[in-house]
Structure 1
């Protein structure tokens, strides 16, 4: 008995004098680790956009809906984000963000889907998901696919969109924006604006309402509108631009005429008989010795 007490005293002294080493497991030790919340492993790149669109869909905010396919669990939180979780016990099981709520997709002036962008990185771009809204007897997420790399498509069924007018854009706008839409429709009817101009003005209305993002960037990080063709908002603008281009074409044609260079009506330059500034020999052998050519040829 005395020996046992002596051993216990020795151990107590040793433990007090020695700092114990604590081994920490990785924080991603298995998806189903009961001591770790999945959300703690997710790091969003940006904040979600404000809740917008049909007011009857606002009741979905703050809720999440799950769908399991194969070994993955998808979780859709309307107006917040959408995530993917691997359902395995691997120490490094994947858990990531497939997109954060950004804007609506509007087709034929109707809300057709929700765009979740700025998800986790995927090579040189970020993951994004389009969630299509369709009529269903209950709120349910299903039909997950990946049409292109790191771009996902999902279907969310809900009775909130079963009414034929439930996703119309016009009724959700305030009075000022409705008035602008009415004026835009009238201008199109009176042929004061083109179809392109009509779509551009509607896009401006949707942006001001908060349904579309004002600046979108493509996968290369370049704003999409920078490389798009110019859009004319009215027939007057189109006519003015046409007059300016016609004058420029006439000016270039005069320069060609001055130098004796003939051309087709479509603007293609023909071979000249004797252009001004070339001697007779150059004109005869124009195919061998072009203007601005040094005349050097390999083998000469």
Structure 2
């Protein structure tokens, strides 16, 4: 008997899987950003095995999880899509991967911690709270004490903005709260953080489409609407009114609404008034 081994290619676009079984991301990854030397990892992926699960971290792309069994319904899912950096004390300390697969009432998300190591590798995976994962990524790219500083990663224009902001704080022209708000805006402009306005817009769209995230929810809503329509039909039947006739009558009533007739008002003659303005370059219309 020949045993067919599971393909060793994973991720959002696994060519060994039929289209209906490939992972479906809910959002596109944010633009790659951060320390210039760290961007060389943008086209690479790193794997980690724990028990029967394989985790794959693709910097600036996504984090996925794959169950390594031959069960027909082995789990494969997205634990997060590249979203933004976490910054503390002017230092990049981690990468947030959000908008993963649905988990109870929210989406899965993952924080990737960056630590110094001899080689690029995933060193540890945990789930500190339900649907929130923590990955530890070791790399020699962060071993230098200044390798993760935020200020050098900014373009000159934003560095000057930060310098001016620091001066304003020193001169007490801005409060600490105002300083933090302006600093976040600088980080958003550099795409280190997700734009607040963009995040609010995404949240609004999610709430509008929340009921139809899956085919099951859509069918459930359709069935409820069908029951409501049937109740309306039964109520009309009890009063001797045909449902189809009621729709036709409502349509005819709308067509019968007369259009608003407007009359042209009589022409009013406005007397000419002399106006003098310093620096007025406009033209005065002499005609009534």
Corresponding residue of 1:110:
91
1:125-164 to 2 correspondences below 5 Å = 125-164=106-145
- Structure 1 Cα separation of the partners of residues 77 and 5 of structure 2: 11
d(CA) in 2 for partners of 1:131, 1:38: 30
- CA distance in structure 2 between the partners assigned to 1:144 and 1:174 by the alignment: 34
Q: CA deviation at 1:31?
A: 8.8
Cα displacement string for residues 160-219 of structure 1 (whole angstroms, at most 9, x for unaligned residues): 00001000110111111111100111111112222111111110100001110113769x
Residue 3 of structure 2 is aligned to residue 32 of structure 1: no
Q: TM-score, normalization: structure 1?
A: 0.60
Q: In 2, are the aligned partners of 1:31 and 1:90 still within 8 Å (CA)?
A: no
Does 2:71 match 1:90? yes
Distance 1:135 1:144 in 2: 16
The answer to whether residue 21 in structure 2 is matched with residue 47 in structure 1 is no
Aligned pair partner of 1:202 in 180, 183, 188: 183
TM-aligned CA distance change 1:77 to 1:31, over 3 Å: farther
34-43 or 110-119, which deviates more: 34-43
In the other structure, the counterpart of 2:248 is: none
Q: 1:180 to 1:217 in 2, by over 3 A?
A: closer
43, 47, 63: which one aligns with 2:44: 63
Shift of 1:46: 1.1
Structure 1 residues 110-149: Cα deviation after superposition (integer angstroms, max 9, x where no partner): 1111110111111221110010111000001021111111
Structure 2 residues not aligned, in runs of 5+: 9-14, 206-288
Q: CA deviation at 1:36?
A: 3.1
Residue 119 of structure 1, aligned match among 97, 100, 113 = 100
Q: Secondary structure at the match of 1:203?
A: helix
TM-score by length of 2: 0.63
Change (3 A) 1:86 1:187: same
| SS of residue in 2 equivalent to 1:171 | helix
Kindly report which structure 2 residues correspond to 1:72-83, keeping only aligned pairs within 5 A, or say none.
72-83=53-64
C-alpha offsets along residues 213-238 of structure 1, whole Å, 9 cap, x if unaligned?
113769xx579xxxxxxxxxxxxxxx
Within 2, Cα distance between the matches of 1:124 and 1:58?
Answer: 34
1:174 counterpart residue number: 155
Which runs of 5 or more structure 1 residues have no equivalent in the other structure? 1-29, 224-300
Distance 1:115 1:62, change over 3 A: same
Name the count of aligned residue pairs: 192
Residues 228-239 of structure 1: matches in 2 within 5 Å?
none
